[in-house]
Amino acid sequence: MADPTQTSRPAGTSEALGCLQRVFGYDAFRGDQEEIIEHVVAGGDALVLMPTGGGKSLCYQIPALVRPGVGVVISPLIALMQDQVDALRALGVRAGFLNSTQDLDERRMVEAEFLAGEIDLLYLAPERLRVEATLRLLDRGKISLFAIDEAHCVAQWGHDFRPDYLALSQLHERWPDVPRIALTATATEATHTEIAGRLKLQDARHFVASFDRPNIQYRIAPKDEPKRQLLELLRSEHDGDAGVVYCLSRKGVEDTAAFLAQNGIDALPYHAGLDARTRAANQARFLREDGVVVVATIAFGMGIDKPDVRFVAHLDLPKSVEGYYQETGRAGRDGLPSTAWLAYGLQDVVQQRKMIDGSEGDDAHRRRLGAHLDAMLALCETVECRRVQLLAYFGQQSTACGNCDTCLTPAETWDGTIAAQKFLSAVLRLARERRQKFGAGQIIDILLGKKTAKVIQHDHDGLTVFGIGTELSVAEWRGVVRQLLAQGLLAVEGDYGTLVLTDASAEVLGRQREVRLRREPARAAKSASRSSSGTGKKSAPVDLPAELVPVFESLRAWRGATAKELGVPAYVIFHDATLRQIATVSPSSLEELSGISGVGEGKLAKYGPPILDLLAGLRAEG
């Protein structure tokens, strides 16, 4: 590690590359990493936009190790600092943190290590920088750089705003000679500009990597008993895999976690309504054990560095494309194939529109929320490649990916103009002739000619539109309504989700506008009745020959036991990708093992002998 007393000029990329190979066990930098690291090592400021799994942390960790002094990392979630520090210590890096979970003696010890230059990286929560004692402490030490992780938290219009981040502009004012690097996994042009302005990084070098995550398969399905759909996805494609399921409400989280657990899935809830101990315990199990599924509100996930999350599922519509991208990006950080699956229905659209109408703030705020939702709806309803649409939102061009649902099973469209006219006419006649407003269910009943108690009570069977829509099913009509809402041809009003016309409705009713709609897929056959005990056969890891699966599983079992003994997450020992390579190569010496990606000097010395013993034992048995 860097000697804090050295006065020679910072080393260049050659030393950084040596650090990458020696400490982290990787042969070469990826993408923009080398250029970013070289720039920061030389003392330059940087704003880095790079997708989750793109290797952002190395962009500040290596400069902190190469430059003289201590790298100070601003990280938003204190609950994860211990794991971040454990992961670095497993590599032989001297790391520590200061936050409210420590007692006085622990804080004093870390402060002493910082002042003596005996640590390379110090993690702080942003609120610590509002404490004068922390600022005075930093004044007394030698700082190599400031790293601001999850920098989108500074943006008011981003998806995860944190007020404490607004104070981080003082870093430049108080320590003008210390380079700063701000990093985020997602930002639109507007959020990017706001981050630069609020952190005073306009003059920094901006590095914008491709936001494409080709290993993630994006799929959006119409809601049809979403918990059953989710269970089928897990049983058929992700049996025994770690994953995250997002729900909008705490009740949704609790109900879904209980449903999955009842059906043999190791699922745990996570939301702000749980007591702190339960939340911490559930998060720890997810991080430290293999194959655990967390069902959570969006309060969960930021800073999670678990590389082997094989799926992220949404049972409710995300509020923005930025939020959706950030949350789905928690899958497949190790670069292996992963799934981003979203169940989406009419009620999602109605609920989100109602929430926007009832939100605090001025009209401009509501318009901005509406624009976020419109972009999310456009992604859901597109008949083109999901990935092309997703990347276009962040201002990046791409070609059809061949690995999303619309590429693999191209969506059909149809001329829905007449259907749209029928539905809008029903809304219009209820308003004009009866001075009434209703939700989608009642209007669909009218169009289908159903003489329900509610239809008879309001004499709706006497309307001229009664029974004129029997060519479509209930599910198809709900698809029509959902898409009319998405296209702004209908609007939601009031607490009860009643539907009203918009200015654009007149163009359709006046036959001045064609309405193209996405055809609703045939209703999937129900299979939730499968025995809850028969959760299916565990599939072999992707690209791993069947004969090597027992070796891989033995290595995973060794990793799990070692992690439990050391009290650290399993991925801190080795990633799945590294274990797969070890199983494939089957090294018989420390020299051969050192050639495996992800095996640096520290891990080779600590874990090399037991791995070689394990492999030798397996060869003897075979």
CA 379, CA 388: separation in Å to the nearest integer?
10
Domain termination site, one of 208, 236, 258: 208
CATH number reported for the structural domain that contains residue 323 in this entry: 3.40.50.300
Q: What is the pLDDT of residue 12?
A: 46
Distance CA 307, CA 313 (A): 16
pLDDT tens, residue by residue, 558-594: 998 998 888 888 888 998 889 999 999 999 999 999 9
Please report the pLDDT score of residue 3 as a whole number: 37
* Helix, strand, coil distribution of the chain in percent, nearest 5: 50, 15, 40
Q: Considering only the C-alpha atoms of the chain, give the largest distance between any 2 of them, rounded to a whole number of Å.
A: 90
Same domain assignment for residues 163 and 225? no
231 located within any domain: yes
Measured CA to CA, the distance from residue 343 to residue 271 in angstroms comes to: 20
Q: How far is 110 from 115, CA to CA, in rounded Å? A: 9
pLDDT at site 579: 93
Q: How confident is the model at residue 303 (pLDDT cuts 50, 70, 90)?
A: low
Contact 295, 317 (CB under 8 A): no
Report, as an integer, the average pLDDT of 192-210: 92
Q: Do residues 372 and 319 lie in contact, with contact meaning Cβ atoms separated by under 8 Å?
A: yes
Same domain, 231 and 327: yes
Q: How many independent structural domains does the chain possess?
A: 4
Would residue 540 count as lying in a domain?
Answer: no
Domain with 498, as residue range(s), is 413-518
* Distance of alpha carbon 400 from alpha carbon 177, whole angstroms: 45
Looking at the domain assignment, is residue 374 inside a domain?
no
Tokens 């859901």 -> residue:
380
pLDDT (0 to 100) of residue 7: 32
Same domain, residue pair 99 and 64: yes
**pLDDT 10s digits, 354-402:** 888 888 878 888 888 888 888 899 899 888 899 999 999 988 999 999 9
Report which of 76, 131, 84 is spatially closest to residue 107, judged by C-alpha positions.
Answer: 131
* Residue 179: inside a domain: yes
More confident residue, 405 or 532: 405
Does the residue 487 lie in any domain?
Answer: yes
> Are 435 and 403 members of one domain?
no
Cα 597 to Cα 57: distance, rounded to the nearest angstrom: 17
Mean of per-residue pLDDT scores for the chain = 88
β-strand pairing of 498-501 with 293-296: unpaired
Which residue is associated with the tokens 């797969």?
Answer: 580
Distance CA 367, CA 166 (A): 24
In this predicted structure, what is the pLDDT of residue 123? 95
Angle CA 66–187–163, to nearest 5? 85
Q: What is the pLDDT of residues 498-545, one digit of tens each?
A: 899 999 999 999 999 999 998 876 654 333 333 333 333 344 455 688
Judgement on whether residues 98 and 114 belong to the same structural domain of the protein: yes
Q: How many Cβ atoms are within 10 Å of 296's Cβ, its own excluded? A: 26
In this predicted structure, what is the pLDDT of residue 433? 87
pLDDT band at 19 (very low <50, low <70, confident <90, very high): very high
Higher per-residue pLDDT: 259 or 305: 259
From residue 32, alpha-carbon distances to 42, 49, 56, 58, 59 in Å are 16, 10, 10, 11, 9
CB count within 10 Å of CB 527 equals 12
pLDDT band at residue 118 using 50, 70 and 90 as cut-offs:
very high
Quick check: 2 pLDDT over 50? no
Q: Is the pLDDT of residue 304 over 80?
A: no
Supply the DSSP string of 274-324, one letter for each residue: S-HHHHHHHHHHHHHSTT-EEEE-TTS-TT---TTEEEEEESS--S-HHHH
In the chain, count H helices and then E strands.
Answer: 26, 17
**What does the DSSP assignment read for 313-374?**
EESS--S-HHHHHHHHTTS-TTSS-EEEEEEE-HHHHHHHHHHHHT-SS-HHHHHHHHHHHH
Whether 191 and 225 share a structural domain: no
Question: Does residue 377 belong to any structural domain of this protein?
Answer: no
Say whether both 101 and 241 belong to one domain.
no
Looking at the structure, tell me whether residues 580 and 483 fall in a common domain.
Answer: no
116-120, 255-259, 299-303, 613-617: range with lowest mean pLDDT: 299-303
How many alpha carbons lie under 13 Å from residue 566 in its C-beta half-sphere?
A: 21
Paired residues of 144 in beta bridges? none
How far, in Å, CA of 49 to CA of 193, rounded?
Answer: 12
CATH number (domain holding residue 576): 1.10.150.80
Give yes or no: residues 22 and 116 share one domain: yes
Last residue of a domain, one of 502, 518, 534: 518
Same domain for 275 and 202, yes or no, is no
| Domain stops at, among 208, 229, 258 | 208
Based on its alpha-carbon atoms, the radius of gyration of the chain, rounded to whole angstroms, reads 27
**Average of per-residue pLDDT across 63-90:** 89
Tell me if 41 is assigned to some domain.
yes
Which two three-digit tokens encode residue 318?
Answer: 């995300």
pLDDT of 177: 93
Residues composing the chain: 622
By CB atoms closer than 10 A (0-12, 13-18, 19+), residue 199 is buried
β-bridge mates for residue 435, sequence order: none
pLDDT of residue 80: 77
pTM: 0.81
Residue 159, pLDDT score: 62
% of the chain beyond a pLDDT of 90: 62
Q: How far apart (Å, rounded) are the C-alpha atoms in residues 279 and 52?
A: 24
Does 26 share its domain with 134? yes
Tell whether the model's pLDDT for residue 338 goes beyond 80: yes
What would the pLDDT profile of 247-290 be if each residue is shown by its tens digit? 999 999 999 999 999 999 999 999 989 998 998 899 889 988 88
In a domain, 66, yes or no: yes
What are the structure tokens assigned to 203, written together? 């003059």
Q: Could you report the per-residue pLDDT of 133-166, keeping only the tens digit for each?
A: 999 999 999 999 999 998 988 886 666 777 888 8
Asked if residue 27 and residue 98 are part of one domain, the reply reads yes
E strand segments, 24-63: 46-49
